Amino acid sequence: MKDYQRDFIELAIAKEALLFGEFTLKSGRVSPYFFNAGRFFQTGQGLASLGRFYAQAIVDAGVEFDLVFGPAYKGIPLASATAVALAEHHGLDYPYCFNRKEAKDHGEGGSLVGAALEGRALIVDDVITAGTAVREVMDIIAGANAKPAGVVIGLDRQERGKGELSAIGEVERDYQIPVVNIITLNDIISYLEQQGGVEHLEAIKAYRAAYGV
């Protein structure tokens, strides 16, 4: 695990963005942990630090893209903070845009805001579990004059998709793109093991055995 990944886990725990307990997921699975990226958005500094973690993960992965795309809603602050961090900390000033969930029929109109959605779009989002949310974003990209370049998420929950592959493996296969993460479930498990905390580990490992790949 790299230093910034450990820092991310520690900050996520401190901000209660990474929670342990019992959570019902969108997929219906009942998980012993949950990542709520919104907890980072509660202050300007929290959001700025989140943007730096995303930017670092993108630079580390070496993914090639033309534009940063933030899917509504949580992807919007995530992608905004990431685009700022790429420019300010890595000298990478990319075009950036996001979508509205409901198209606007007055003023500038339409459902996209920012740079034109064209070329290879890097999608910035919070979490992939079963892959439902990210597939909806792919439809938006396909409906515009763009192609997906990759997806970057804060947490890869490393869960099974529809078949033998992970949900993320299926996205990578179906769209021929990389899915980059700041951390994975295995990183969280390693971190908890290193901390010597046994409290949540058993439940998380049981969950991984049931739904993991």
**Residue holding tokens 């490393």?**
158
For residues 36 to 75, the per-residue mask of contacts with ligand OMP, x marking binding by CB under 6 A and - elsewhere, is: x---------------------------------------
Q: Count other C-beta atoms under 10 Å from residue 143's C-beta.
A: 11
Give 26 or 173: the residue with its C-beta nearer to ligand OMP.
26
- What is the number of the residue whose Cβ is closest to ligand OMP? 129
Catalytic residues: 104, 106
Task: Confirm whether residue 24 is marked as ligand binding.
Answer: no
User: Is residue 19 close enough to count as binding ligand OMP by CB under 6 A?
Assistant: no
Nearer to ligand OMP, 11 or 115 (CB): 11
Q: How far is the CB of 96 from ligand OMP (least distance, A)?
A: 20
Cβ 54 to ligand OMP shortest distance, Å: 15
Among 40, 126, 158, 211, binds ligand OMP (CB under 6 A): 126
Query: Could you tell me the smallest distance in angstroms from the CB atom of residue 133 to ligand OMP?
Result: 4
Min separation Cβ 22 and ligand OMP, Å = 12
- Cα 195 to Cα 31, 63, 75, 157, 200: the distances in Å are 21, 32, 31, 20, 12
- Token digits for 180? 């980059």
For residues 126 and 187, which CB has a smaller minimum distance to ligand OMP in the complex?
126
Q: Which residues bind ligand OMP (CB under 6 A)?
A: 25-27, 34-36, 126-133
